[in-house]
Amino acid sequence: MKYIVCEEPNKFALKDKEIPVKEDNQALIKIHRVGICGTDLHAYSGNQAFFTYPRILGHELAGEILEIGENPQNLKVGDKVIVMPYVSCGTCVACRHGKTNCCSNIRVLGVHTDGGMQEKVAIRTDLLIPANHLSYEEMAIVEPLAIGAHAIRRAHVLKGETIVVIGCGPIGIGLMKLAQIKGADVIALDVDDARLEFVKNEIGVKHVVKVSETAVEEVSKITNGDLAAAVFDATGNKRALESGISYMSHGGRYVLVGLSKGELTFSHPAIHAKESTIMCSRNATLEDFDFVINNLNKFPTKAFVTHQVSFNDMIANFDSWLDPKNKVIKAMVNFNI
């Protein structure tokens, strides 16, 4: 079978290997779609934390069961399944408290271990979520949307609250829509006019603010001087991460969803004066996946998936997805074309 491996930064290779043999607690999955996310783009560019080469990318996966034994979920051959890519140990302190998303021994498919950019994969059955009622495109976007759902749950976003989301990439876009579903008012920030226009037109975000020296003043004006009850960084950019606290109200919450490789610096008087709650949000849990699946009918999947190519054409197209001029929101690899 064929697979694509990132051998080193800026270098993919299309190769062949034997079809994997599933273990007793696994299913053999045929991959139909792989969503491309910031992690994949950063790994290809050599700028992804927790990453080693060579690596088969791909963790936003939509598949079909080819082989499976007895399992508690009663999954069967032919079922369409979403793959939850966070391989947790089940025994560490985080897992024992239900926080499998930050397992101390976690191995994320496509990051710490090989992912789904291959025709068939063997996956633990407990990581499979049935999704026969969804299209393959819908299935492949559940994981990135679950990242946003988890961040919203971490911050305890309430109906009627105003939040700021910094970054109108796929994670930020999902976060905005799911926050709206929760009843929050959203203010979107980005440096890219096209992405701000996208969230205004396709997500229904009323207030969009271009990042500039006056952005804090604009957010203050929109909120009648209160600023935002919760601020989410979905960029992973050091400058954005360090400045996000400026948009947060006194007594508010600041959630770091994006990941930076380096150190961050905050002014202690500034964060202390607001009695800031600063938290990180990593990956997602089954509860977050379920929330997304149950609300996916409210999400504009067709507008979100802006670029789609065949598996054989992925390498030739990948560089173009890094170019802002191509206005990529969500690129996807289709194994069926």
Whole-angstrom Cα distance, residue 309 to residue 286?
A: 29
Report domain extents, the chain: 2-132+300-334, 147-280
Whether 46 shows a pLDDT value over 90: the answer reads: no
pLDDT digits (tens, 9 = 90+) for 195-225: 999 999 999 999 999 999 999 999 999 999 9
Q: 93-125, pLDDT tens digit by residue?
A: 999 999 999 999 999 999 999 999 999 999 999
- 9 closest CA partner among 46, 38, 57, 49: 46
Q: Are 33 and 140 in contact (CB under 8 A)?
A: yes
Q: Is the pLDDT of residue 299 over 90?
A: yes
Check: CATH 3.40.50.720 for 147-280? yes
Which pLDDT belongs to residue 51?
A: 78
- Which CATH class, in words, describes the domain spanning 2-132+300-334? alpha beta
Rounded Cα distance, 218 and 223, in Å: 9
Sign, Cα dihedral of 62, 67, 69, 74 = positive
pLDDT at 48 over 80: no
Residue 6 phi/psi, 5° resolution?
A: -90, 100
Quote the pTM value: 0.95
